[in-house]
Chain A
Amino acid sequence: MSVVTNTTTIGAIEAPSRRNTELALLGFAVAIPVFAYLNVGLALDGEVPAGMLGYGLGLALLATVAHLVVRKWAPYADPLLLPLATLLNGMGLVLIWRLDQSPRLIATSMRLYKSFSPDAPAQMMYSAIGIAMLAAVLLLLKDHRVLQRYTYISMMAALVLLLLPLVPGLGSAVYGAKIWINVAGFSIQPGEFAKIVLAVFFSGYLMVKRDALALASRRFMGLYLPRGRDLGPILTIWAVSLLILIFENDLGTSLLFFGMFVIMLYVATERTSWIVMGLLMSVAGAVGVASFASHVQARVDAWADPFSCAEKVAACDQMTEVLMSFGSGGILGTGLGQGNSDLIGFAANSDFIFATVGEELGLAGVMVFLLLYGLIIERGIRTALAARDPFGKLLAMGLSGAFALQIFVVAGGVMGLIPLTGMTMPFLAYGGSSVIANWALIGILIRISDTARRPAPAPAPNPDAEMTQVVRP
């Protein structure tokens, strides 16, 4: 119900907070994974899984905490973001738990490491930390514009995060990509966090420089070319992303950063020429690197014709297994717990978890998941549209753009649309850094949407109000 607070012409009409909608949706977001959990248990062992109550209650508890935090500290936030992320996180837990039961993966683990530990409990813990991260963001970041102050600190932080894996002794190469660091027994993927920090830097930087970048340019062949000194940061970002690609063997992350930067640049300057330049630079970079980096070449080969190179290269073998996994799923899938996506091997629950969705839930399930991700992106961009300040607009856009690119790069890679890059599906895949960073990302989006949808503060009482007050019946 809208409440008319005063009779001035600028009536502040309170937007509905939609917190109850969010709560109802969260109910679904918890119930669906619980049923999926039951489904896996029945399919694998023919009985109700023992841990069902634990996981169900755990997920419900996390959802409740998150909801209460949002209700208290971001009452006007978008009601869809939290339930969508909760549903994906919950389904991810089920899929990881399902792969934990695979005798094949257990046997592989025993052969390689002489031990096997299930990943689902760890993922549950990471999810809890992720929710805590969301709460922390909402509690500490009362207004997202505060982040503007940290523009250049963010830049430094992002560079440090990105280059940490290259520090000898700290970084560790796993399966070819040097994107992990080892700290006190934990391995962390700094790139996942760098995504957010970089978005903050870009937003702050572009908000200040956007007029210079948009207007101070020369026209050349129908395109507005920027001045040399404005080109500097862009070239820097390009070079950094190439460095990541070359030294960390991480095609996905470098593509993600550069893509995010180009999108934000375009939004900030409203100049198409930036897109053209960005595309040209990324093509140049990709071709340059692909021509001498064997890691990238192997990925491209595996993408071009996985079945013909399956005998030679491990990456091809994985790719064929993934494709056959999708093919075997067909339209409706084999049903949770009844597929053979574990044939993919060690990365089945991280990089390739989407193949399990494809095989066990089929075309229908994959489309649902893609649409869930699509909805998160859509709510993010809607937040950007609704945001009133340019910094918030750019930040929301940057974060949702990065999210969209990541979905495209990962799902497209796994489904053989583009070469495989080795990033993980947000919320779905096993991995602490990914879950925690993405919950933080959702937290920031929730904060911006709360600010955007919060009703404008009531104007100062009009001294004339008394005089012309309407007499209410």
Chain B
Amino acid sequence: MNKPLRRVAIFCGLLVLALLLRDNWLQFVRADELNSHADNKRVQIERYATERGNIIVDGKPITGSVDSGGTYYKYKRTYVNGPMWAPVTGYASQVYDANFIEKIEDGILTGNDDRLFFDRTLAMFTGEKKKGGDVVTTLNGAAQKAAFEGLGKNTGAVVAIEPSTGKILAMASTPSYDPSTIAGSNDEKAWVSLNESKAKPMQNRALREIYPPGSVFKVVTAAAALEAGKVTDIDAATETPEGWKIPLSTVPMKNHSGGCANASLNEALRISCNSVFAKLGDDVGVEKMNEMAEKFGFNAEQFTPVRSAASVYDKKADRGGNALSSIGQFNTATTPLQMAMVTAAIANDGKLMKPYMIDQLRAPNLDVIKQNEPEQLSQPVSPENAQKLQAMMENVVAKGTGSRADLNMDGVKVGGKTGTAQHGEKNAKRPYAWFISYAKTDQGSPVAVAVIVEDAEGVGREDISGGGLAAPIAKAVMKAVLKSRG
């Protein structure tokens, strides 16, 4: 009986071998795939197993962690002034993943990032509890507060940038939501109602929504005209008839104010003449217009590092379309961030800095593991032309439609541009009120702001205007930045 016995022994050996091979397949070959599988709760459990690091503004955390005592996820995220900061922090939920900074810097915040390996190892030996690192933002608490409170109950967004560096100082979006309400594991009701709400409180309007810019786009057209040499003297009359006929169409371009016939570029920007800018855009041509828009950042997503939607300038527009695009209508659409970038570039003498909102990544022991340095994105306009644009924009605030943004502070010059963007079929919807502006002192410009108010409650349709609704918000933000800089 020994011969079959030996064979059975071999068979049993093969059974064990098959198990060993299968185990190697599972735990070696497929380990990573299984470990990062979407259904694997361990990623979430790990994310909340220890106290998460914080997002810091002005040296103070705007996030926190509490021991929720849950059997799956130990720590729960809390937010200080959640609705105000939501467009910056995003949310970190025990069941619904995370977004924005909470998601992008998850590795640092959880402490699992490779760059924190040394800290983790050290903590292991010293017996300290594992803790996440901090994300230090570039934001300015006072400016954010001014922006958020300025928007109030209106639907809209504000982005403020430091022109010389590209640091984002404020980023508000209303209506907003409190990420604390969806941070736990039993927040399905809040999650569903937030997602189904018609007001779209979770939409980050500052980065992810694109709007027709309307008249605020005229500064881009002005920049293109200057750069293309179509205009050299901003005070010289342009040959624009009142009621300039849109090419390929029989409709004449209408102006909302009088005095646009042959108005100079300076005057045309001050009173926001459609005909002058439409004609200028047509003179510059779709190619040059598009080139200028793209130098300012259009047609590309921006990474702050939170991704923004790409603003649009239609490079395939025909002559008529291009003329309409040049006054911020037709297919032109932009994020508030994009308009803040345009303003910042002009205020920074033509240099466009890459916008960013994460200044430093810090290890739990406060060691800086990454410091973001300002980075130039492009030079859309020459310094001379930028100064001409500044002169025109300052004129808008001093004597034109943007007077409500004037800070009336000594040594501070303010430049701006209003916009009232028509949209909807036959422009039937309530128009958007835009305002872009910057403040400038002897040391250069500390702040450039873009404000959009989508819908102002209780304001009649005829009264919606960038100068009326949006300019005061921009003014408050600029004031807050100037004050905080002493």
Identify which of A103, A324, A358, A417 contacts B18 (C-beta below 8 A).
A417
- CB within 8 A of B35: which of A324, A362, A384? A324
For residue A451, CB closer than 8 A to chain B, the reply is no
In the complex the two chains form, is A381's CB within 8 Å of B5's CB? yes
Q: Considering the chains assembled together, what is the distance between the CA atoms of A459 and B13 in angstroms?
A: 39
Check A104 against B72 for contact (C-beta < 8 Å): yes
A363 touches B28 (CB 8 A): yes
Complex contacts, A249 vs chain B, CB 8 Å:
none
| A390 sits at the interface (CB 8 A) | yes
Residue of A nearest to B13 (CB): A374
A324→B5 CA distance, assembly (Å): 38
Indicate whether A56 reaches chain B with its CB closer than 8 angstroms: no
Among B15, B22, B34, B45, point to the contact of A327 (Cβ < 8 A): B34
Say yes or no: is A408 at the interface (Cβ < 8 Å to chain B): yes
Q: Does A257 lie at the interface of the complex (its beta carbon under 8 Å from any beta carbon of B)? A: no
* Cα of A324 to Cα of B45 in the assembled complex, Å: 14
Q: State which residues 279-337 of A face B: CB under 8 Å.
A: 307, 310, 320, 323-324, 326-331
A358 and B27: CB pair below 8 A?
Answer: yes
Q: Is the interface of A mostly helix, strand, loop or mixed?
A: helix
Contacts of A307 in B (CB 8 A): 37, 39
In residues 384-441 of chain A, which contact B (Cβ within 8 Å)? 384-385, 390, 393-394, 397, 400-401, 404-405, 407-408, 411-412, 415-417
| B42 in contact with A407 (CB, 8 Å) | no
Task: Tell me if A170 is interfacial: C-beta within 8 Å of chain B.
Answer: no
Partner of B12, one of A323, A330, A331, A377: A377
A323 adjacent to B42 (CB under 8 Å): no
A270-B1 Cα distance, complex, nearest whole Å: 7
Closest to A320 in B: B39
Bound Cα distance from A347 to B5, whole angstroms:
36
Residues B39 and A411 in contact, CB atoms below 8 Å apart: no
Instruction: Check: A343 CB closer than 8 A to any chain B CB.
Output: yes
B27 contacts A329, C-beta separation under 8 Å: yes
Q: Are B41 and A340 in contact (CB under 8 A)?
A: yes
CB-CB nearest in chain A for B127:
A46
B484: Cβ under 8 A from any A Cβ: no
Closest chain-B Cβ to A448's Cβ sits at a distance in Å of 13
Residue pair B5, A330 in contact (C-beta under 8 Å): no
- Are B40 and A328 neighbours in the complex by a CB distance under 8 Å? yes
Cβ contact within 8 Å between B16 and A367? no
- CA–CA, A378 and B11, complex, Å: 11
Interface presence of A263 (CB below 8 A): yes
A378 and B26 within 8 A (CB): no
Residue-wise, chain B 7-33 has the 8 Å CB interface mask toward A (1 for contact) of 111011101101110111011101111
Complex contacts, A267 vs chain B, CB 8 Å: 1, 4-5, 8
- Verify if A107 is at the interface (C-beta below 8 Å from B): yes
| A326-B16 in contact given A340-B41, A393-B5 (Cβ < 8 Å) | no
CA distance A358 to B24 in the complex (A): 11
A330 closest partner in B (C-beta): B31
Name the CB-closest residue of A to B26: A326
Report the Cα distance A412→B22, complex, angstroms. Answer: 8
Instruction: Return chain B residues, CB-CB under 8 Å to A377.
Output: 12, 16
Residues of A within 8 A of B41 (CB): 340, 343
Bound CA–CA A363/B35 (angstroms): 14
Whether B39 and A370, one on each chain, are in contact in the complex, defined by CB atoms closer than 8 angstroms, is no
**Closest CB-CB distance, A426 to chain B, in whole Å?**
14
In the complex, the answer to whether B4 meets A323 with C-beta atoms within 8 Å is no
A415 touches B1 (CB 8 A): no
Report the minimum CB–CB distance from B229 to chain A (whole Å). Answer: 63
Contacts of B12 in A (CB 8 A): 374, 377-378, 381, 400-401, 404
Instruction: Identify A397's interface contact among B8, B15, B27, B71, CB under 8 A.
Output: B8
Please measure, in the bound complex, the distance between the C-alpha atom of A330 and the C-alpha atom of B34, giving whole angstroms: 10
* Contact (Cβ within 8 A) B23 A384: no
Q: Are B5 and A327 in contact (CB under 8 A)?
A: no
Q: Which of B6, B16, B31 contacts A373 (CB 8 A)?
A: B16
**Interface centre among B27, B35, B40, B72, by most A CB within 10 Å?**
B27
Q: Are B27 and A412 in contact (CB under 8 A)?
A: no
Question: Count of chain B residues with Cβ under 8 Å from any Cβ of A?
Answer: 37
Interface presence of B3 (CB below 8 A): yes
A327: B residues at CB distance < 8 A: 26-27, 30-35, 37, 40
Q: B2 within 8 Å of A by Cβ?
A: yes
Q: Does A266 contact B (CB under 8 A)?
A: yes
Instruction: Tell me, in angstroms, the Cα distance from A390 to B5 when the chains sit together.
Output: 12
Determine the chain B residues whose CB is within 8 A of the CB of A103 once the complex forms. Answer: 71
Does A353 make an interface contact (CB < 8 A)?
no
The CA of A323 and the CA of B45, in the complex, are separated in Å by 17
Q: Which of B195-215 contact A (CB under 8 A)?
A: none
Roughly how many angstroms separate A371 CA and B34 CA in the complex, as a whole number? 25
Question: Are B42 and A328 interface neighbours, CB within 8 A?
Answer: yes
Separation of A385 and B22 alpha carbons in the complex (Å):
29
Q: Which residues of B are found within 8 Å of A343, using beta-carbon distances? A: 41-42
Does A268 count as interface, using CB distance less than 8 angstroms?
yes
Say whether A381 contacts B20, CB under 8 Å.
no
Asked whether A385 lies within 8 Å of B27 as measured between CB atoms, the reply is: no
Residue of B nearest to A380 (CB): B12
* Residue A179 CB within 8 A of the other chain: no
Which residues 38-56 of B sit at the A interface, judged by CB distance below 8 A?
Answer: 39-42, 45
Least CB distance, B126 to chain A, in whole angstroms? 14
- Residues of A contacting B4 with CB < 8 Å? 266-267, 270
Interchain nearest-CB distance for A322 vs B (Å): 10
Determine whether A366 belongs to the interface, using a CB cutoff of 8 Å to chain B: yes
Interchain CB contact under 8 A, B9 and A270: no
The reply to whether A324 and B31 form a contact with Cβ atoms under 8 Å apart is no
Q: Are B39 and A263 in contact (CB under 8 A)?
A: no
Contact with A along B435-466 (1 / 0, CB 8 A): 00000000000000000000000000000000
Question: Given that A104-B72, A307-B37, A417-B22 are known contacts, is A331 also in contact with B16, CB under 8 Å in the complex?
Answer: no
Name the one of B3, B11, B24 contacting A363, with C-beta atoms under 8 angstroms: B24
Task: Give the docked Cα–Cα distance between A404 and B9 (Å).
Answer: 10
Contact A385 B2 (CB under 8 A): yes
Partner of A366, one of B1, B7, B23: B23
- Across the interface, which residues of A come within 8 angstroms of B13, CB to CB? 374, 378
- Select from chain B the residue with minimum beta-carbon distance to A408: B15
CA distance A324 to B36 in the complex (A): 9
Q: Is B27 a contact partner of A366 (Cβ separation < 8 A)?
A: yes
CB distance from B67 to the nearest CB of A (A): 13
Do A385 and B19 touch (CB < 8 A)?
Answer: no
Complex alpha-carbon distance, A299 and B141, angstroms? 58
Q: Residue-by-residue, is A95-131 near B (CB-CB < 8 Å gives 1, otherwise 0)?
A: 0000000011011000000000000000000000000
Query: Please, which residues of chain A bring their CB within 8 A of the CB of B9?
Result: 378, 381, 385
A324 to B40, Cβ gap below 8 A?
Answer: yes
Select from chain B the residue with minimum beta-carbon distance to A358: B27
B residues near A362, Cβ cutoff 8 Å: 27
Bound complex: CA of A415 vs CA of B25, how far in Å? Answer: 10
Task: Please state if A363 and B27 are interface contacts (CB–CB under 8 Å).
Answer: yes
Provide the residues of chain B in CB contact with A385, threshold 8 Å: 2, 5-6, 9
Closest CB of chain A to B66's CB: distance in Å? 17
User: Which of A268, A326, A397, A400 is most buried by chain B, counting CB atoms within 10 A of its CB?
Assistant: A326
Q: Which residues does chain B contribute within 8 Å of A331, judged by CB atoms?
A: 27-28, 31
Quick check: B8 and A266 within 8 Å, CB to CB? yes
Q: How far is the CB of B71 from chain A (nearest CB, A)?
A: 4
Show 28 residue pairs from A and B whose CB-CB distance is below 8 angstroms, ordered by the A residue: A103-B71, A266-B4, A266-B8, A267-B8, A270-B3, A270-B4, A324-B37, A326-B27, A327-B27, A330-B27, A331-B27, A363-B23, A367-B20, A370-B16, A374-B12, A374-B16, A378-B12, A381-B12, A393-B5, A397-B8, A404-B12, A405-B15, A407-B15, A412-B18, A415-B19, A415-B22, A415-B26, A416-B26
Identify the 3 closest CB pairs spanning chains A and B, nearest first: A327-B34, A363-B27, A404-B12
User: Which residues of B approach A to under 8 Å, CB–CB?
Assistant: 1-9, 11-13, 15-16, 18-20, 22-24, 26-28, 30-35, 37, 39-42, 45, 71-72
- Taking A263-B8, A405-B15 as given, write out 16 further A-B residue pairs in contact, using a Cβ cutoff of 8 Å, ordered by the A residue number: A103-B71, A267-B5, A268-B1, A323-B34, A324-B42, A327-B35, A327-B40, A328-B40, A363-B24, A367-B23, A381-B5, A393-B1, A407-B15, A408-B15, A415-B19, A417-B22
